[in-house]
Amino acid sequence: MTITAPTGASLNVTALELDDIQAGTLRPRPDPYAGAYLALRIDDRRDGQELVRRLAAVVSPAAEVLDPLAQASLSVGFSFAGLQALGVPQDSLDTFAPEFRQGMAARAEELGDVGPSAPAQWERPLGSSDVHVVLVMLAPDVARFEATLATARAALDRLPGIGRVWRQDVYSPHDGRNVLGFHDGISQPGVESSGVPGSNPHEALLKPGEFVLGYLNETGDVSPAPQPEVLGRNGSYLVFRKLYTDVAAFRRYFREQATSPAEEQALAAKLIGRWPSGAPLALAPDHDEPELGADPDRNNAFLYGADDPQGLACPVGSHARRMNPRDAAVTGEVRLHRLIRRGASYGPQLPEGILDDDGGDRGLLFAAVNANLARQFEFVQAQWGNDGKFIGAPDEHDPLIAAHDEHDQLTVPHKPIRRRLKGLPTFVVNRGGEYCFQPGIRALRWLGDRNT
């Protein structure tokens, strides 16, 4: 299908231009991997434009990353303040999504970033107007990560008008387990014409416009792209959040709830929705099955509505089921709220068996790619994470990522009698994040070549 752009050019809105879309937008990450997020501030516009020109030459298009699991990648995104610092004209800035223009900190109320997650508590300079450019580097091993980092450093060489304001190293270990000890990041949607099949064979491929601007989306519309067309088309919105995770509190809670280590693990799995190996409860309701967890052909091949409507295997309110209810009977249309997740662990693992917090900074660097911040990321956060009405439980919230009060609970369906996990502590605190626009490669050149 083609449409006529404001410039008069015909645009194909169904076939993805993989040679122009950044690899980091569509291609899976390596597994395992090492990586880093690097935030930059543009103090001098001309240095900023030079940086963008250099980055345009080194950022990999999706078409060139043929083996994403074995290749390093460098992606670049800009905050709204970053686009302003680069001198993008106001009439163009006005065409970006309102949530992006406001920035994540200004959306705190909608996102439930209150109390210890409030922007006033965030790690500086996250949430401030000093975060302009965000580089994301991921590689299958430390050696290739260092090479990618060297590429980024070369792009920054002799640009005194660019400040390095924040860095967060991230990783995924060989067993893929996050700081809580659970293999995550397994479930990913497939995207039509991207060459990425998706991890659930029971989920139809999603329209490209759910993730890339300028293409048909699941509502039958073309996702609105910022203007001019050269800037917006093939871009995406990247969301990142540094989610500190209180691993010791998680372990203590389940130690208190259980009478044996096996029960501890089983209850924790009920909260997460998967076993530590990544085996889904929907397919392995009674005990972990490491072979299933490690099998990419099977570890995401399931539904809820058809296979487990009551949540007897995987609780309706568990974290994983909330974040992707699949075919379950929930309010709304799940396919309108899908995200490509690019989460990564950060910080040292808390040694096994330790129940006291050692003060270490550890957790998940959550990242998600989507085309519509309001309908996708913010909806998932507010409706599926911080609310329970969509599953008929208005008093329950996401047991893992939501802030909890003393009344919060998780209902764990079980025959003959359900169990309720009460007094859930708050396990996750947002220490800061931002909405970034991840442009196509032509757009990067346009941003770098602007004669302002």
d(CA 335, CA 385): 16
Q: What is the DSSP string of 390-414?
A: GGT-TT---TTTS---TT-EEEE--
Window contacting another protein (CB under 8 A); options: 123-131, 138-146, 417-425, 441-449: 417-425
CB of residue 222 to another protein, shortest distance in Å: 33
By CB under 8 A, is residue 120 in contact with another protein? no
User: 335 or 414, CB closer to another protein?
Assistant: 414
CB of residue 395 to another protein, shortest distance in Å: 11
Window contacting another protein (CB under 8 A); options: 8-16, 132-140, 382-390, 412-420: 412-420
By CB under 8 A, is residue 411 in contact with another protein? yes
User: 60 or 409, CB closer to another protein?
Assistant: 409
Give me the phi and psi of 415, to 5 degrees please.
-95, 135
Beta-ladder partners of 436:
238
Window contacting another protein (CB under 8 A); options: 111-119, 125-133, 362-370, 413-421: 413-421
By CB under 8 A, is residue 11 in contact with another protein? no
Question: CA dihedral defined by 421, 267, 363, 342, rounded to 10 degrees?
Answer: -110
CA proximity to 200, closest of 210, 208, 209, 191? 191
Angle at 211 between CA 206 and CA 212, to 5 degrees: 115
Looking at residues 140 to 199 of the shown chain, list those that interact with another protein (rule: CB under 8 A). none
CB of residue 121 to another protein, shortest distance in Å: 34
Looking at residues 318 to 377 of the shown chain, list those that interact with another protein (rule: CB under 8 A). none
Window contacting another protein (CB under 8 A); options: 73-81, 139-147, 344-352, 406-414: 406-414
Half-sphere exposure of 104 (CA within 13 A, CB side): 33
CB of residue 282 to another protein, shortest distance in Å: 15
Distance between start and end Cα atoms, the chain: 36
| Summary count for the chain: helices (H), strands (E) | 14, 13
CB of residue 417 to another protein, shortest distance in Å: 4
User: 245 or 411, CB closer to another protein?
Assistant: 411
Looking at residues 299 to 318 of the shown chain, list those that interact with another protein (rule: CB under 8 A). 310-312, 316
By CB under 8 A, is residue 413 in contact with another protein? yes
Q: What is the DSSP string of 337-385?
A: G--EE--EEESPPPPTT--S------EEEEEEEES-TIIIIIHIIIIII
User: 206 or 314, CB closer to another protein?
Assistant: 314
CB of residue 413 to another protein, shortest distance in Å: 4
d(CA 120, CA 106): 11
Contacts of 219 (CB under 8 A, 6+ apart): 336
How many residues bind another protein (CB under 8 A)? The answer is: 12
Burial 212-250 (b: 16+ CB within 10 A, else e): bbbbbbbeeebbbbbbbbbbbbbbbbbbbbbbbbbbbeb
What would the x/- binding string for another protein be over residues 258 to 297, using CB under 8 A? ----------------------------------------
Q: Which helix (H) or strand (E) segment is 433 a member of?
A: strand 428-438
By CB under 8 A, is residue 416 in contact with another protein? yes
Looking at residues 420 to 439 of the shown chain, list those that interact with another protein (rule: CB under 8 A). 420
User: 316 or 365, CB closer to another protein?
Assistant: 316
Beta-ladder partners of 216:
222
Asked if residue 314 lies in contact with residue 282, where contact means CB atoms within 8 angstroms, the answer is yes
CA 390, 394, 400, 401 dihedral sign is positive
Window contacting another protein (CB under 8 A); options: 79-87, 91-99, 340-348, 409-417: 409-417
User: 188 or 409, CB closer to another protein?
Assistant: 409
Of 101, 414, 442, 445, the one binding another protein by CB under 8 A? 414
The contact set with another protein (CB under 8 A) reads: 310-312, 316, 411, 413-418, 420
